[in-house]
A and B are shown apart, each in its own frame.
Chain A
Amino acid sequence: MSETAVGPALGLDVGTSRIVAARGSRGEHGAGERTYDSQLNAFVSIPYSKITVDALSRENVPHTVGPYEIIVHGNESEKFAGLLNAEIRRPMNRGILDPKEPDSLKVIREILSRMLQANPQQQQAPRKICFTVPAPPLGSPDALTYHEATLRQTLEDLGFEPSSINEGLAVVYGELADSNYTGIGISCGGGLCNVCLAYLSVPVVSYSVPKAGDYIDMNAAQVTGERANLVRLAKEDSFHFNGFSENKMQQVIGVYYDDMIRSLVASLKEAFARTASLPKFSRPIPIMLSGGTTLPAGFRDRFEKLLREQDFPITVSEIRLAQDPLHSTAKGALTFALSEG
């Protein structure tokens, strides 16, 4: 079998809270170096003024100017939300373009356009790109076609040859090469947890659970009276699973984290129990956890404890946390893009 070098490609994890781009190529001797770039999939709008436009341009803050407002998007939006004491707005909700957000398409196009500019260090600009899309929620069909078609069109407009991949399957392709792409990939993001059971690279069951990071943030914000932004920061900066905490914020976050993990575990049991055509695995299979919501210390242990309490229909060899949970979905999308080359 000959191995020919493949030109650079891109993997794109289009998540509710973050967009991650993975760049890489494949040389004659296997996988080459991967680089990652990440932006918040968010924006804030500021009332229009010429002075503000000039200041933003001077400071090189990514923004777009409309007739009545200025939109600051990407990573800078968080800073501006803090300065203006405003909630961040998001182009996506629960894994797909938010139909209630009128600026969703414009903002996501701007963010992608800036992120996907050809890497100046590369001689050859990547053409192939694989982007992630969520699976439908368990048991309830969902309209994903518009979301997928819109992203595809946007990427084509930016000069790429796009293909798409399910988020859970991307985790499998990114992290489970050593089990021949057999196992369960779980991506716990902001809007959704995406799950995929794959067998020898073929997706067998894919679905999503609408309880994820945002669910924790919003509910904890309601209980504590804080803004969801601040809850998210507290969750990402200092939360860990170690039982009861005297800090109310930590304690509330813990309650909703636990609820989220229980829902995820229950969905796994339900989904696999009702799938009639599950393969007969010749050996136990691994579960790979990834995504920003898996970052707190103790997440993997808590998940394993709750899963082992269930009568799970598949024998699990191990439950692993991805080495780089924020990038593994994009990495899997990149692997898929390169395999298509």
Chain B
Amino acid sequence: MFARRLDARARKIQDPVERLRFLQREMQALDSKSRPSARRRWTGWNGISAAAVAIAAVLAAPWPAGVAETTARESRMAIPAAAAAFESVKSPVKVWRVDRSETFETYSNGLRVDLTFVASNQARQRYPVFPLNGGAEPARYQTNPAGIVYHTTEGQLAEFEEAKNQRLKALGRNLLEVVREERAYHYVIDRFGRVYRVVEETDTANHAGHSVWADPSGIYVNLNTSFLAVSFEGQTGEPDAVTAAQIQAARMLTEMLRSKYSIPAENCVTHAQVSVSGVNNHIGVHFDWASQFPFAAVGLPDNYGQPLPSLIVFGFEYDSAFVRAIGGRWKGLDLAEAQVAEQAASQGMPVSRYRAILQHRYTDILGVLAETEGGG
């Protein structure tokens, strides 16, 4: 009787660690012996006790590499599709325009938008939205903005104190002129919390370059057209330089834009979250608001916790330099990693192979976008 002999032999080993090691080795050996070719399956069991047969039945699959694998197999856990990673957050409060003059717009939540720097750019055409679960052909086209990307202006800053008031105002004005010239953002919030529309909402702004985001309805690639840009006068890596007035203004502006275009909260994200390289399949070409974006104060959930779409749907990667630059890992980064690993496992392939397939899809989509001339 195999099991009894094994039991008796193990009992002679005094050291519990060595005993455990012995049992594991013997049971794994039994497991590999108990998986003969289909033709020999039943003849190969001669001489093995009923108990050992029962154990072998439990161990029908390969010896697990980790507990999650074991438990997933035991419970026949379904591997979630990419779509399950994104959860929709309920729609915003209603905000409407109360008044408008040549230089200002006023909104019902107290937002006041300065129009003195507004300029036109290329009008927003319909842009493609790609399906979550594969293919390079667009699932549909859309014309309204789907989200907001938050930036910092990366400009020169003066100390925020009364004695520097003239300098602060001058820097702000210079900044607005540069942003207008480059059609860089739809909105700029200066350090006094004043909100300036710089590019018309109906037009594209040159703010995001190579970038990716996704929501339950699809994937957005290169967000200049599909997402509005809101920029804080500030510097990357210096979140303390952003003033309370700016945060309050950002909250009101976000409320207004979400209300006007029915933008879901999960599509209000930072430039660092959406930025990708067009060259080496790495994320994080730009680091603005890579950490400490005041999501809660702006009336949004902590979107750093969202699984990063660029990793999940296009297999983008990152290196330790990126993690250092963002000052630690995002929860969304870990969630995305775990999901990629799960999906690779569900496809029965190594993660590297699975990523390569996703990356290939991104290249295909860039090709489609190039053909349709600047969609997205």
A residues with a Cβ closer than 8 A to B are 1, 3, 6, 26, 29-31, 67, 99, 102, 104-106, 133, 135-136, 141-146, 148-150, 152-153, 163-166, 173, 177, 180-182, 199-206, 277-282, 335-336, 338-339
Contact = CB atoms under 8 A, between A and B. Distances in A.
List of 7 A-B pairs having minimum Cβ-Cβ separation, nearest first: A177-B16, A30-B15, A201-B23, A141-B77, A146-B338, A277-B57, A339-B21
Interface string B1-32: 00110110011011111111111101100000
Contact of B67 (A150, A164, A278): A164
Contacts of B90: none
A198 to B, nearest CB: 10
Contacts of A166: 67, 70-71
B67 A31 contact: no
B341 interface: yes
A204 B55 contact: yes
Interface in B51-96: 51, 54-55, 57-59, 66-68, 70-72, 74-78, 80
Interface stretch (B138-146, B329-337, B352-360): B329-337
Contacts of A335: 16-17, 20
A181 B19 CA distance: 9
A177 B67 contact: no
A277 B56 CA distance: 9
Contacts of B16: 30-31, 177, 335
A102 B334 contact: no
Contacts, number: 147
A136 to B, nearest CB: 5
A26 B7 contact: no
Nearest to A148: B68
Contact of A278 (B13, B15, B54): B54
A281 to B, nearest CB: 7
A180 B7 contact: yes
A180 B23 contact: yes
B239 interface: yes
B48 interface: no
B319 interface: no
B23 A181 contact: yes
B351 to A, nearest CB: 11
Chain B: interface residue count, which band? 35 or more
Contact of A145 (B26, B50, B54, B341): B341
19 contacts: A30-B18, A31-B17, A105-B334, A135-B67, A135-B71, A141-B75, A145-B68, A145-B341, A146-B338, A163-B66, A180-B10, A180-B23, A199-B51, A200-B26, A200-B55, A206-B71, A277-B58, A279-B55, A280-B54
A337 to B, nearest CB: 9
A148 B67 contact: yes
A309 B19 CA distance: 35
Contacts of A206: 70-71, 74
B302 interface: yes
A1 B341 CA distance: 39
A148 B71 CA distance: 12
B105 interface: no
A287 to B, nearest CB: 19
Contacts of B21: 339
Nearest to A105: B331
A105 B329 contact: yes
Contacts of B4: 282
Determine which residue in B4, B59, B67 has the highest number of CB atoms from chain A within 10 A of its CB, and name it.
Answer: B67
Nearest to A30: B15
B108 interface: no
A336 B72 CA distance: 21
B292 interface: yes
Contacts of A173: 20
A227 B11 CA distance: 49
Chain A binding surface SS class: mixed
Given A146-B335, A150-B334, A165-B67, A136 B75 contact: yes
A135 B13 CA distance: 30
Contacts of A144: 67-68, 71-72
Nearest to A340: B21
Given A173-B20, A280-B51, A201 B341 contact: no
B240 interface: yes
B134 interface: no
B128 to A, nearest CB: 31
Contact of A200 (B6, B67, B78): B6
Given A200-B27, A277-B58, A181 B20 contact: yes
Given A67-B292, A133-B67, 8 more contacts: A1-B18, A145-B338, A150-B338, A166-B71, A202-B55, A202-B58, A277-B54, A277-B57
Contacts of A3: 15, 18
A166 B329 CA distance: 26
A333 B66 CA distance: 13
Determine which residue in A106, A136, A339 has the highest number of CB atoms from chain B within 10 A of its CB, and name it.
Answer: A339
Contacts of A105: 329, 331, 334
Contact of A30 (B14, B72, B76, B292): B14
B305 A202 contact: no
B219 to A, nearest CB: 22
B19 A31 contact: no
Contacts of B51: 199, 279-282
A102 B305 contact: yes
Interface string B304-337: 0100000000000000000000001101001101
B163 to A, nearest CB: 23
A69 B274 CA distance: 27
Contacts of B70: 166, 203, 206
Contact of A164 (B27, B66, B329): B66
B331 to A, nearest CB: 5
Contact of B15 (A26, A148, A182): A26
A102 B58 CA distance: 39
